[in-house]
């Protein structure tokens, strides 16, 4: 085993606005600094759900105001989200480390992730993003070949874009990430699941998709041969409801036990299930690996076995 850990930060680490994100990343920075202080080699990936939607909405509105500007492709929005989330996050981590007397460079890598053009996800999109549209605007989007759905949640109650969430196959910047980690740097990479791209000979073409960040985190951890995948969320443990209707914490479980809980339908398909499936992908792809799912504020407790859902 080595001391490499890939940390996946959920959307609860960032908030929904620029000022809110700048303040909230300070909590994430403390969790990361705790790991660095314990001498773990840390690579961070993160969610970008609200942020990419904000960017896509802003760029769409700009194109409507100025006819000379086109709507930004989803891949470009993903790249923008990686840049500005990385900017806030790396500065917050740098400050937290220096406040503890630790000098450790922090870098953000704009990361491209290969997806399969024949992935079934492209015919069954699941990621709802962006602004609320009228019926006419929704029909216009569909004529362009985009998918639209009606988002009935009270805060939206209207039509919105929906994009595919294909599985990650390869990470193009993996050698750069590995080199920085081996040089003792703390690296932020594959934000928002990475920019999904299609390999076209010598070119990489951005795909209209958003990769589930937990699956990319697992792929990143596997390619780095990390010992730990640490998925930080908003609870000390995953929970499920047993046959008597009681809520149970999921502590340390085996791969077989995790698969049994999945088969019994205990995990939410768009929230908890991807975290468990990604954990299984990582743990079963190598030996001596551990996946931990726990609260953002208890990162070190989780990796040291004092709290969290642990899959070995």
pLDDT top residue among 282 and 240? 282
pLDDT reported for residue 210:
94
As a whole number, mean pLDDT of residues 288-295 equals 97
pLDDT reported for residue 69:
77
Burial (CB count within 10 angstroms: exposed 0-12, middle 13-18, buried 19+), residue 37: middle
pLDDT at 199 over 90: yes
Distance CA 77, CA 53 (A): 8
The pLDDT > 70 percentage for the chain reads 100
As a whole number, mean pLDDT of residues 281-309 equals 96
Distance CA 29, CA 154 (A): 33
pLDDT at 88 over 90: yes
Instruction: Specify the length of the chain in residues.
Output: 312
Instruction: Report yes or no: 83 and 91 within 8 Å, Cβ to Cβ.
Output: no
- Per DSSP, the three-state class of 266 is coil
pLDDT tens digits for range 142-192: 998 889 999 988 888 899 989 999 999 999 999 999 999 999 999 999 999
User: Angle formed by the axes of helices 255-263 and 272-284, to 10°?
Assistant: 150
Please state which of the ranges 89-93, 127-131, 255-259 shows the lowest mean pLDDT.
127-131
Distance CA 78, CA 251 (A): 34
Instruction: Report yes or no: 132 and 160 within 8 Å, Cβ to Cβ.
Output: yes
pLDDT reported for residue 100:
97
């Amino acid at each position: 085993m080595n001391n490499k850990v890939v940390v996946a930060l959920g959307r609860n680490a960032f908030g929904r606005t620029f000022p809110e994100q700048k303040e909230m990343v300070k909590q994430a920075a403390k969790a990361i600094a705790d790991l660095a202080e314990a001498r773990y080699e840390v690579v961070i990936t993160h969610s970008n759900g609200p942020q990419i939607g904000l960017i896509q909405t802003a760029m769409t509105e700009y194109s409507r105001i100025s006819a000379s500007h086109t709507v930004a492709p989803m891949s470009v929005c993903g790249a923008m989200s990686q840049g500005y989330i990385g900017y806030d996050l790396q500065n917050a981590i740098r400050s937290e480390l220096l406040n503890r007397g630790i000098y450790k460079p922090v870098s953000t890598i704009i990361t491209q992730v290969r997806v399969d053009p024949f992935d079934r996800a492209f015919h069954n999109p699941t990621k709802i993003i962006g602004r609320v549209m009228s019926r006419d605007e929704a029909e216009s989007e569909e004529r362009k070949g985009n998918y639209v759905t009606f988002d009935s949640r009270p805060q939206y109650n209207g039509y919105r874009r929906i994009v595919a969430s294909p599985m990650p196959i390869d990470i193009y910047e993996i050698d750069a990430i590995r080199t920085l980690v081996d040089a003792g740097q703390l690296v932020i990479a594959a934000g928002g699941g990475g920019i999904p791209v299609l390999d076209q000979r010598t070119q990489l073409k951005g795909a209209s998709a958003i990769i589930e960040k937990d699956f990319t985190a697992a792929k990143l951890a596997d390619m780095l041969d990390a010992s730990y995948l640490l998925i930080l969320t908003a609870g000390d443990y995953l929970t499920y409801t047993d046959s008597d209707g009681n809520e149970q914490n999921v502590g340390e479980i085996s791969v077989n036990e995790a698969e049994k809980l999945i088969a019994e339908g205990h995990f939410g398909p768009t929230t908890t299930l991807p975290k468990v499936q990604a954990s299984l992908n990582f743990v079963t792809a190598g030996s001596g690996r551990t996946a931990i799912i726990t609260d953002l504020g208890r990162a070190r407790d989780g990796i040291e076995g004092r709290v969290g859902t642990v899959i070995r």
